[in-house]
Amino acid sequence: MPKPARHYVCQECGSVHPRWTGRCGSCEAWNSVIEESPEISAPNTRGGSEGRIIPFVPLSGTLDWSPRNASGITEFDRVLGGGLVPGSAILVGGDPGIGKSTVLLQVVAKLAEQVECVYVSGEEALDQVRMRAVRLGIEKAPARLAVATNVRDILASVDTHDAPQILVIDSIQTMYVDALGSAPGTVSQVRASAQELIRVAKKRGIVLLLVGHVTKEGTIAGPRVLEHMVDTVLYFEGERGHQFRILRSVKNRFGPTDEIGVFEMTERGLAEVTNPSSLFLGERRDDISGACVFGGMEGTRPLLVEIQALVAPSPFGTPRRAVIGWDSSRLAMVTAVLEARCGVSFANSDVFLNVAGGLKINEPAADLAVATALLSSFSGTPAPTDSVIFGEIGLSAEARAVSHTDARLKEAAKLGFGRAIIPSIGQSKIKSQPKLGLQIKGISNLQELVNMFKDDTNSGRRAM
């Protein structure tokens, strides 16, 4: 029998190379190519080389759409667009230890009250899962458990007429298809295991929840190959030092992709946070310079967060720029606009920017709030208290309107803020202002913000 040809697969992007190489030619990752046994292709069981004729049907037609299964955990259901769609495959990614197993066990326990749920663990022993359930206070839930890693065994147990409606696989990196020679966790195993599980899930209308660990570079191991195979990709994020966790949807065939669910890790598992703004503003003080409140949006939900900046004299020739929770190239842009258009020079200063609470924001709408925090730290003057700030800054220093102005202002009013600094161009779009009781200051150019700080720099540290 001829020896199967060797075959080298990049573990980052899944591309196949004829020989080993230190650097993948497709994704340019170093040291990611390993040898794997070739995938065994299914034999042509039909015989002959001609394909079968497939019937084409009209686009319009009757829908046989089963209702979604809502878990009752509102933060989880919202991220999915209202619940779990039967027959869909959902990938839940995140760092090890972030709480993926915990949240899925909680979801399964809730759903088990209405539908048949199976939780398959490939990482933990039965007793460990049971102990966790006791700790979470959900040990009485009628969910079923199994410890398995062989995909063939799992499929034999669920590909039946009384298939469960929900199947959790924790985690896909521990699963293996025995027809393949490579080790569990390699790209071919992850891909083949997911493919088999998804095929049966679609056939039986099972909701398949796959847990996927994220590598240190931030991609799910066996990465893009999994993301395009599933219907929904959720990332579970959070900083280890912080209590809160964010479930973010990055792909969703059945719902919105910019929604987040906010949870808090407590002693009894993950608790929903229904008012995240108050959580992120919890430790805020009004009388310090270099901080201000940004009126942000996450999906359809407004979220107020504190932006902190520190501008300090630099002891080095090349000043430092460090950003946590925001985009460093956007910070570079805001400082460049302040320097070139408004004459505020950061050339001899280190600049540090932090989004309080460990949240990551990626909205350009934070530009104005970042500029405010920078100017406040630079001048040593506290930013206007009880104000919420948002707006984008253009390269010629103009303030640009952002979406959802009303929702952002409403959230500010709800949390007791009295004032808002927003782009004046967006002011005309406000519909709810009289009802909100907010005092709104419109800004058309960044220079106006600089002047606000200039006016009271007499008490300040530096002149601008």
What residue ranges bind ligand TYD (CB under 6 A)?
94, 96-102, 132, 135-136, 265, 267-269
Q: Which does 248 bind (CB under 5 to 8 A by kind): ligand TYD, Mg ion, none?
A: none
Q: Which does 267 bind (CB under 5 to 8 A by kind): Mg ion, ligand TYD, none?
A: ligand TYD
Which region among 23-31, 94-102, 389-397, 455-463 touches Mg ion (by CB under 5 A)? 94-102
- As measured in angstroms, the least distance from the Cβ of 402 to ligand TYD is 34
- As measured in angstroms, the least distance from the Cβ of 128 to ligand TYD is 9
- CB of 107 or CB of 375, closer to Mg ion: 107
Burial of 29 (0-12, 13-18, 19+ CB in 10 A): middle
- CB of 101 or CB of 377, closer to Mg ion: 101
Q: Which does 180 bind (CB under 5 to 8 A by kind): Mg ion, ligand TYD, none?
A: none
Q: Quick one: residue 357, left, alpha or beta (phi over 0 = left, psi -120 to 50 = alpha)? A: left
- As measured in angstroms, the least distance from the Cβ of 106 to ligand TYD is 9
- As measured in angstroms, the least distance from the Cβ of 331 to ligand TYD is 30
Q: Which does 102 bind (CB under 5 to 8 A by kind): ligand TYD, Mg ion, none?
A: ligand TYD
- As measured in angstroms, the least distance from the Cβ of 246 to ligand TYD is 13
- CB of 101 or CB of 219, closer to Mg ion: 101
Q: Which does 441 bind (CB under 5 to 8 A by kind): ligand TYD, Mg ion, none?
A: none
Q: Which does 199 bind (CB under 5 to 8 A by kind): Mg ion, ligand TYD, none?
A: none
Q: Which does 97 bind (CB under 5 to 8 A by kind): Mg ion, ligand TYD, none?
A: ligand TYD
How far is residue 63 CA from its own chain's centroid? 32
- As measured in angstroms, the least distance from the Cβ of 103 to ligand TYD is 7
Query: Which of 11, 69, 88, 101 forms a contact with Mg ion (CB under 5 A)?
Result: 101
Q: Measure the CA–CA gap between 463 and 261, rounded to whole angstroms.
A: 43
Answer yes or no: are the C-beta atoms of 111 and 71 closer than 8 Å: yes
- CB of 132 or CB of 248, closer to ligand TYD: 132
- As measured in angstroms, the least distance from the Cβ of 119 to Mg ion is 11
- CB of 101 or CB of 186, closer to ligand TYD: 101
- CB of 10 or CB of 103, closer to Mg ion: 103
How far is residue 211 CA from its own chain's centroid? 14
- As measured in angstroms, the least distance from the Cβ of 218 to Mg ion is 18
- CB of 76 or CB of 378, closer to ligand TYD: 76
Q: Which residue is it, tokens 């088990």?
A: 112
Q: Which does 99 bind (CB under 5 to 8 A by kind): Mg ion, ligand TYD, none?
A: ligand TYD
Q: Which does 122 bind (CB under 5 to 8 A by kind): ligand TYD, Mg ion, none?
A: none
- CB of 248 or CB of 454, closer to ligand TYD: 248
- CB of 211 or CB of 304, closer to Mg ion: 211
- CB of 11 or CB of 101, closer to Mg ion: 101
Q: In DSSP terms, which residues pair with 311 in a beta bridge?
A: 351
Write a three-state SS string for the chain: CCCCCCEEEECCCCCEECCCCCECCCCCCECCEEEECCCCCCCCCCCCCCCCCCCCCCCCCCCCCCCCECCCCHHHHHHCCCCECCCCEEEEEECCCCCHHHHHHHHHHHHCCCCCEEEEECCCCHHHHHHHHHHHCCCCCCCEEEECCEHHHHHHHHCCCCCCCEEEEECHHHCECCCCCCCCCCHHHHHHHHHHHHHHHHHHCCEEEEEEEECCCCCECCHHHHHCCCCEEEEEECCCCCCEEEEEEEEECCCCCCCEEEEEEECCEEEECCCHHHHHCCCCCCCCECEEEEEEEECCEEEEEEEEEEEEECCCCCCCEEEECCCHHHHHHHHHHHHHHHCCCCCCEEEEEEEHHHCCCCCHHHHHHHHHHHHHHHHCCECCCCEEECCEECCCCEEECCCCHHHHHHHHHHCCCCEEEEEHHHHCCCCCHHHHCCEEEEECEHHHHHHHHHHCCCCCCCCC
Binding-site size, Mg ion (CB under 5 A): 1
- 106 forms part of the interface with Mg ion (CB under 5 A): no
- As measured in angstroms, the least distance from the Cβ of 358 to Mg ion is 21
- As measured in angstroms, the least distance from the Cβ of 417 to ligand TYD is 32
Query: Which residues of the chain form contacts with Mg ion (CB under 5 A)?
Result: 101
